[in-house]
Amino acid sequence: MERPLELGNVTRVQEFVLLGLSTRLGIRIVLFAIFLALYLLTLLENMLIIYLICSHIELHKPMYFFLGNLSCLEMCYVSVTVPSLLVGLGSSPCHVPFAACMTQLFLFIALISTKCTLLASMAYDRYVAICRPLHYPLLMRPQVCLGLALSSWLGGLLVSVAKTSCIASLSYCGPNVLNHFFCDVSPLLNLSCTNVALTELVDFISAIVIFCGSLLVALASYVAIGRAVLHMPSAVTRCRALSTCASHLVVVGIFYGVVLFMYSRPRLISSTDLNKVLSVIYTVVTPMCSPVIYCLRNREVQAVLHKTLHSPRVSSATTQFARS
C-alpha cells in the first residue's frame, strides 16, 4: 500500500491505544483474574527453578544452566507483556505513551530473539549428550556454556536495537489504535504513514538470521538425535535417550509453530482476534508451562525439590508455625 511521504503539517502520534482482549466488562473481570493468577504462577515457578539450580550442586550441569537462563528470560518475558494486558483488562482501553510503547517493543524483541537462540543452544546440548556422550564434558564445558548464553542475550539485544530503531523512526500520523494487548511489530507497521520498505527488510533479515537460523540448528540437532536413537541396541536405551529431550522438543514445537504462523509473513497478518489468541499462547501460556514440562517432571529436579522441602530448616519453620 502506498504511504504518503509529505508529512510537514501532520500531527505526530504521541500515544497508542491498546484495545486489549475484550471490551465486555464481565469478561474483562474474569480474564483479569485468570491472567493475574497465571502471571503470578509463572513468576513463582521460574523463581523456584532458579533457586533450585543455584542452591544445589547436583544441578550444576549444562542442561540446568540453560534452564536457569530460560527461567530468568521467561520471568522478564511475561513481565514485559502481561502487565499491559492486565491494565487493558482493568481499564480498557489502555493508553500507552509513544516512548513506553517503543520501550516495550524493544524488550519484547530482545527477549523473544534471545529465547530463540537459547532454545537452539539447548537442542545442541541434547545433541552432544546423546550423540557424542564421551566428548560431552569437553564440548559443553563451562566456558562454552557461558559463551552460548552470552551470545544468546547479546544477539537478542543487537537484533532488537536494529528493529526498534527502524520502527521508532517511522512516522505515525493517526489513527493510533492497536487491536492488540501490547506493542508488537506488525500492528505498528500497519499504523505507519511513511514507507516501511526498509523496516520490513530489516525485519525479514533478522527473522532469517535469528528465527530461521535457530530453528535450523534445533531441527538439525533433533534429526541427528533421531538417527542416533534408531541405532541404539536396546529399547530401554532408546526410551531413556528420548526422555531426556522430549520435554524440550514439545516446548520447541509449540513456540516455533506459533511464532512461525504469526511472523513468517507479518505484512499479511491483520490484527485479528486469532492473532491475539496466538499471542497469548506464546507470551503467557508457554512461559507458564515451560517450568513444568522442563523441570518439575524431571527426576533430578524432583529429588532436589523434595530435599529442599524436607530440609531441617524448612521442617523446623513449619513446626514453629504449626505451634503458633
> Distance between CA atoms of 155 and 83, rounded to whole angstroms?
25
What letter does residue 177 receive in the DSSP assignment? Answer: E
Q: Which domain holds residue 153?
A: 15-303
Q: Tell me the three cell numbers of residue 96.
A: 500507552
Q: How would you classify residue 49: left for phi > 0, otherwise alpha for psi between -120 and 50, otherwise beta?
A: alpha
Angle at 78 between CA 92 and CA 304, to 5 degrees: 145
Tell me which residue of 298, 283, 310 sits closest to 108, measured CA to CA.
283
Query: pTM (2 decimals)?
Result: 0.85
DSSP-derived 3-state class of residue 151: helix
302, 56 Cβ separation under 8 angstroms:
no
1 located within any domain: no
pLDDT at 239: 81
pLDDT in tens, 105-128: 999 999 999 999 999 999 999 999
153 membership: H or E segment, kind and range: helix 142-168
Task: Tell me if 2 is assigned to some domain.
Answer: no
Decide if 136 is inside a domain. Answer: yes
In this structure, is residue 5 part of a structural domain?
no
Contacts of 164 by beta carbon, 8 Å cutoff, 6+ apart: 102, 105, 106, 109
Is 4 within the bounds of a domain?
no
Please say whether the beta carbons of 257 and 55 come within 8 A: no
- Number of domains forming the structure of the chain: 1
Q: Does 308 fall in a domain?
A: no
Torsion sign, CA atoms 150, 153, 159, 160: negative
Return the closest-CA partner of residue 128 out of 80, 170, 195, 66: 66
Asked whether the beta carbons of 235 and 141 are under 8 A apart, the reply is no
Which pLDDT belongs to residue 271? 44
Task: Provide the pLDDT for residue 289.
Answer: 85
> Does the residue 7 lie in any domain?
no
State the Cα–Cα distance between residues 67 and 49, nearest whole angstrom: 8
CATH number of domain containing 274: 1.20.1070.10
Residues of the chain with pLDDT under 70: 1-11, 22-23, 262-273, 296-297, 311-324
Decide if 246 is inside a domain.
yes
The answer to whether residues 253 and 303 touch, using CB atoms and an 8 Å cutoff, is no
